[in-house]
Amino acid sequence: FGFMAKVAPEGVAWMTDIEKYLSFVMTTFIAFGVTFEVPVIVIVLVQMRIVELATLREWRPYVIVGAFVVGAIFTPPDVVSQLMLAIPLCLLFELGMLMARFISKPKAAEQSTDVV
């Protein structure tokens, strides 16, 4: 707001629409908040055996495209904002896959414990 107040010409009555501002801020907060839950979602999906790690690796190109689509929808219409959401989303997906690999049990170990 300070920047806009300095840039606006002197004769212009600079008024803000609080409803639009709050809508923008809440949408941005929710989008970035959900972004940082991606590793948790990936780990839970792998732990519950809903999705295998190999399947997540196959989905990687689609996740990258989806991240940029989400960035385009939930951020203001400029490339920098889109990148600021899409890149962390992709990196957090990769982090989730890395953490899920270390947390999940190998199938061979599970099968040997089931037999006993």
Whether residue 3 has pLDDT greater than 90: no
Give the Cα separation of 84 and 87 in Å (integer).
6
> In the chain, how long is the greatest CA-to-CA distance?
83
* 93-107 b/e (C-beta count within 10 Å ≥ 16 → b): bbebbeebeeeeeee
- Of 61-70, 75-84, 98-107, least confident by mean pLDDT is 98-107
Q: Which pLDDT does position 67 carry in this prediction?
A: 94
% residues pLDDT > 90 (the chain): 46
**Whether the Cβ atoms of residue 43 and residue 53 lie closer than 8 Å to each other:** no
- Fill in the amino acid letter for 75: T
Read off the pLDDT band of 53 (50, 70, 90). very high
For helices 79-103 and 18-35, angle between their N-to-C axes, nearest 10 degrees: 30
- Of 13-17, 20-24, 54-58, least confident by mean pLDDT is 13-17
Q: What is the pLDDT of residues 16-46, one digit of tens each?
A: 778 888 888 888 889 888 889 999 999 999 9
**Whether the Cβ atoms of residue 96 and residue 38 lie closer than 8 Å to each other:** yes
Q: Give pTM, 2 decimals.
A: 0.72
Whether residue 59 has pLDDT greater than 70: yes
